[in-house]
Amino acid sequence: MKIFDYDVIIIGAGLTGERAAVAAHEDGSSVAIISLVQPRQSHSNAAQGGIQCSLDNMGEQSAGDDWKLHFDDTVRGSDWGADQDVVEQVTRAAPRLIREMEYFGCPFNRTSDGKIEQRNFGGTSVWRAAFAADFTGHALLYAIDQEVMRKGIEIFWRVQVISLILNGDRVIGCVAMDLRTGELIAFHAGSTILATGGSGKLYSESTNAIICRGDGQFLAYNTGKVPLGNMEAVQFHPTGMYPVWILLTEGCRGDGGVLRNKDHHEFMWDYASAKGNLASRDVVSRGMISEIRAGRGIEGDFGPHIWLDLTHLGRDKIISRLRDVHDIARDFAGIDVVTEMAPVKPVQHFMMGGVRIDIDCRARGVEGLYAGGECACWDMHGFNRLGGNSMLETIASGYFSGTTAAKDASGRTSGAGDLAAIHDEVKKQDEIIEELHRHDPEQNSFALHEEMAVLMTENVGIFRTGELLEAAVEQLLDIRARADRIGLTHKVRGRSLELEMALRIPYMVELALTIAQGALKRTESRGGHYREDYPARNDDEWLNRTLAYKQEGDPLPRLEYEEVVLTHLPPGDRGYGEKAPPPAKDK
């Protein structure tokens, strides 16, 4: 058995993971990154529209912008579910972190006088999103990956981490499987950072890549010690391109695009009188589904959708600033957005919840574990994330987690029993794999995944009710029971997508249960969590964060609650002019 030893290991090679690696390396730690894919194939590459930072570069459109205004917009966007001390830390750091990415080589768009250009985004008071056309994630990821390579940081890719290794209450590394050979390998480290991205593939309709299966979340959850925060806080992006669900960036609407119903009416002003098409994502998504419910959607082969209209922007603007959108619509839908409207529908996009960490990115409940980016609940986003704040969170949490992890690992020596704990965990995981090989394929992991994902889309979506959520929990418990009877058709270890999924699916179902159960118990509406049977926000009872803990022998989580941190901005109106969505026709 191979055992690799580092001061800091990082699981995930997207923006968060690579920024953490650079930070830890600069503090003198030996660092390794473990990734399912090559770093430049990470899902960060798909982020399009921009990254929020108060540079105040856009004249009248951003006049007076500073961290305080960015802070206010973020807290209002979160529907007062965010920790305000974290929001302050990130918004204060944002201009420095973005200029640092510029130094690393990110080719941001420029104003006529050479400053970093910024565009308008939903839920913001001013034009704040710095951008590189509509491939900002791609540009940022390539820049930081170049820095990782320049520093000679080691990367293990095509490797799937399957468990964390604990010695008492300390995480001392992880067990991973080489996906080429099926060999189990161990990593021993003073600090372990989770940077695995989101869990969008819990849903059947998602903008997320196939690798976004919640690995980091269930690695922490499976310890039984680390809670997941606010898992019911799921974001649905208004403009997933119908019916392939590839994201069409919010930058489309920031640059002047509008949403239209079947009558070509620009309807979002009817639902958010102060912001219209650029209200927060939860408000816009509910407005779009309300139009569809009212019979004003456009019928298609896979159900109704809405139009995204860019035709009035002109070819030059679209090609120069929205080239990715133009090419995606052409290649995947046969549509020229210069002259035709694009079909869109709200679709799962982002998880606000995740591994609960403190302001310095240390995980709750154990020592030696850290997290950042979408797999974590820092909590910068509360119950709704503003567009562009996700890329900011990746860079910021990467910096802070890498710095903290390196500091904590400095001088840390192997504890008594570390080697025994490593061997025990490798043996345990080897036995799990061997048991899968012994089982007859009574249950197929891919079929169970599809059943779970469709259920989540239908029952735990934009509009939720107690009845739908109770049914989801009951059916998820049945799927989880059947997951114990998964077998493999192909009895091989290496290059086996079937084995990769079989190892994940029981834990993915348990993550789905944290979402459904958390949503069922939260009897209010806040941000992206909208209960039609409890349509009002209830600060008296629910100004708090859900913490979900894994229970031994019970697939349902144990739920606890903690107060959110309020520092500067007390709960109030979000300022979008939002009107309550009408009830469904069948109610």
Condensed to tens digits (0 to 9), the pLDDT of residues 144-200 reads 999 999 999 999 999 999 999 999 999 999 999 999 999 999 999 999 999 999 999
Q: Given a cut of 90, is residue 344 above it in pLDDT?
A: yes
pLDDT at res. 3: 97
Q: Is a pLDDT exceeding 90 seen at residue 122?
A: yes
Q: Are 120 and 129 in contact (CB under 8 A)?
A: yes
Q: Is the pLDDT of residue 455 over 80?
A: yes
Structure tokens at 452: 């779970």
Mean of the pLDDT values across residues 565-587?
A: 88
Count Cα atoms within 13 angstroms, Cβ side, for 420. 5
Report the catalytic residues: 237, 253
Average pLDDT across the chain, whole number: 96
Q: What pLDDT does residue 586 have?
A: 56
The angle, 0 to 180 degrees and rounded to 10, between the axes of the packed helices 389-409 and 136-151 is: 20
Nearest to 260 by CA among 344, 348, 347: 344
State the pLDDT confidence band at 537, using cuts at 50, 70 and 90: very high
pTM: 0.97
What domains, with CATH codes, occur in the chain? Answer: 2-233+352-409 (3.50.50.60), 238-348 (3.90.700.10), 420-538 (1.20.58.100)
- The 10s digit of each residue's pLDDT in 42-62 is 999 999 999 999 999 999 999
pLDDT digits (tens, 9 = 90+) for 264-308: 999 999 999 999 999 999 999 999 999 999 999 999 999 999 999
- Above pLDDT 90, what percent of the chain? 96
* Rounded alpha-carbon distances, angstroms, from residue 361 to 13, 45, 60, 83, 491: 17, 23, 36, 13, 40
Q: How far apart are CA 50 and CA 250, in angstroms?
A: 9
pLDDT band, residue 587 (cuts 50/70/90) = very low
Q: What is the dihedral of CA 322, 323, 329, 334, to 10 degrees?
A: 140
Number of DSSP helices (H) and strands (E) in the chain, helices first = 15, 20
Q: What is the DSSP string of 13-69?
A: -SHHHHHHHHHHHHTT--EEEEESS-GGGSGGGG--S-EE-----SGGGGTT--HHH
